[in-house]
Chains A and B, each alone.
Chain A
Amino acid sequence: MPERISAAEVASVARLARLTLTDAELETFTTQLGDILEHASQMAALDLSGVEPMGHPYGLVNVMRDDVVAAVVDRDEVLGSAPAAEAGMFRVPPVLGEQP
């Protein structure tokens, strides 16, 4: 199993997950995630050679249906509950750099 998770790794993971942590939170989460992962490392005691990974109770298969029009969720109802919408679309602030 890998070495205990560091504060720098927790900060990096938080960035990936789009979360901002205060210094105090970073310290607490680093300890807690380290403890949880250390507990999980007990799995290393098992002999897993030749064991297939299990992702799902049944093993997922494609489920197909006939290509016919069915009831769909109403667009206006979806947009009506969105934080901001305009002209039939979700409105967001600029995605890249400066305001146009």
Chain B
Amino acid sequence: MIRSAVETAAAVRAGRLLAVDVVEQSLAAIAAGDGDLNAFNLVTADAARADARAIDEAVAAGRDPGPLAGVPIALKDNLCTRGIPTTCSSRILEGWLPPYDATVVTTLRAAGAISVGKTNLDEFAMGSSTENSAFGPTRNPHDHTRVPGGSSGGSAAAVGAGFVPLSLGSDTGGSIRQPASLCGVVGVKPSYGLVSRYGLVAFASSLDQIGPFAGSVADAALLLEVIAGHDPLDSTSIPDPVRPISTHLNDGVAGLRIGMVEEFMGDGIASDVRARVHAAAEALAAAGAEIGEASVPAAAYGLDAYYVIAPAEASSNLARYDAVRFGLRVDAATTPEMYDLTRTAGFGDEVKRRIMLGTYALSAGYYDAYYGTAQKVRSLIRRDFDLAYEKFDLLLSPASPTTAFAFGDKTSDPLTMYLNDVCTIPTNLAGHPAMSVPFGVGDDGLPIGVQLLGPMMSEPTMFRAAAVLEAGLEGSAGRAVAS
């Protein structure tokens, strides 16, 4: 059984455990299990071993390698790693080696964490099942016939399978929280601006946020504290000092007002998922929280606004894949033909769908009807959340409408797939933080996560509630264990 990140870092820093042994264990688990799972696009074993040796040498020399000393971590393959392929699980980035590291990659290294590789995703983070990857889907560690969720399916599965204690994903409409729910791990979408986006390949810049996956709430808190903070290289990064999370994890929820979001508990949500949310509310109430009914009326239109705004931003961001500066080039007699041939061959169907949708929504004659309207709806969603947070400290809801579904179940109709993110998308539009915490299993024995949501920069409070849920679950049966 893999050790937690908290335990590993403490033992490595104290010289009681060698980073090389920790990394070897992680690499062995990946070698044994990832042939079936396909969580990784690339395993950087040699670099990981070299990094581990450097950590052990630092400890031996009396230096502190940092708060994540010797902890193996997996990186979603849309985070730039200098000189190491970064594919976004797309053919169009074939052959590209980023000339710089994402800020989170630099920060993790400085904290002593050891990257073991790059994980699979839906192409350019567009999808909810990892089935849109150009390199084949990732399987759910709890049931290999089911999807791990997406788009950060590889990062969620890598932690769910016990390959690594920590991983990073990105969340534009639920791409951390939904796969965390389906794989039975903790997944956090931080407040917009808390974590630098520098070096995260852009999908929808006003919605994208990098965040942690972990096997426990304490591990997620430790990772988030390391990657949070101001970065001059990201002009949307918040300059405020980072508020401590770990030191308040055990403060409990006595007196906190927590609202169950009625718009996220409707007919589209499976009854076993709703039952777990009610059970979570009871656990929080038993720990002293005041539970009430919350309403965020405009959130019912979140999906509609999102599928205009996110594709609009994507159509602009993905214009840079022109075969001139990086990645795939299909040779042609002229540059315009080269653009057409390369983009047609390099992008998969879901990416093409969203590029065209966004191009249409931004085009003359339709701009006001779609993009302008969606931006106003976004205002309403933010306003309705802010009103709810006048009455409640936190909100509670499902993270995903169902447990993990079978491969191919939702690929024929894009709208059916989009509905997976109905409970997570409104948070991204508002910019607020939210997280999925494992809270038992469904009728099929597969993991269910409940979602905690909070106002801007409320991570310390959100994590206190997450810790209460985790403790409540340990006291009961029903914790899912990966096969």
Contacts and interface: CB of A to CB of B under 8 A. Distances in A.
Chains A and B belong together in one complex = yes
B325 A43 contact: no
B415 A39 contact: yes
Which residue, A77, A92, A96, has most C-beta atoms of chain B within 10 A? Answer: A92
B431 interface: yes
B356 A29 contact: yes
A8 to B, nearest CB: 12
A13 B323 CA distance: 20
Given A55-B375, A78-B99, A93-B333, A36 B236 contact: no
Given A29-B353, A57-B430, A81-B97, A36 B415 contact: yes
Interface of B is mostly: helix
A46 B324 CA distance: 44
B218 interface: no
Interface in A1-26: 1-2, 5, 9-10, 13-14, 16-20
Contacts of B360: 5, 9-10, 13, 33, 37
B389 interface: no
Contact of B304 (A10, A33, A43, A55): A43
Interface string B321-351: 0111111110111111111110110010000
A23 B332 CA distance: 22
A69 interface: no
B439 interface: no
A74 B83 CA distance: 12
A34 B322 CA distance: 27
B357 interface: yes
A92 B324 CA distance: 7
A54 B379 contact: yes
B456 to A, nearest CB: 8
B343 A18 contact: yes
Nearest to B431: A57
A51 interface: yes
B308 interface: yes
Contact of A52 (B304, B307, B322, B379): B379
A53 interface: yes
B356 A19 contact: yes
B303 A13 contact: no
B376 A53 contact: yes
A29 B193 CA distance: 35
Interface string A67-100: 0000001100110111110000010111111010
Given A19-B340, A19-B344, A42 B379 contact: no
Contacts of A78: 99, 325
15 contacts: A2-B365, A10-B360, A17-B315, A17-B343, A40-B305, A42-B301, A42-B304, A43-B377, A48-B373, A53-B372, A53-B375, A53-B378, A58-B193, A81-B95, A93-B333
Interface of B: 95-100, 192-193, 206, 232, 235-236, 298, 301, 303-305, 307-308, 315, 319, 322-329, 331-341, 343-344, 347, 352-353, 355-357, 359-360, 363, 365-366, 369-370, 372-380, 382, 413-415, 418, 430-431, 456
**Top 4 closest pairs, chain A to chain B, by CB:** A57-B431, A53-B375, A83-B329, A54-B379
Given A36-B415, A80-B97, A97-B334, 15 more contacts: A16-B363, A17-B315, A17-B356, A18-B343, A19-B356, A35-B413, A39-B304, A39-B415, A52-B379, A54-B379, A60-B235, A63-B235, A77-B99, A93-B331, A95-B336
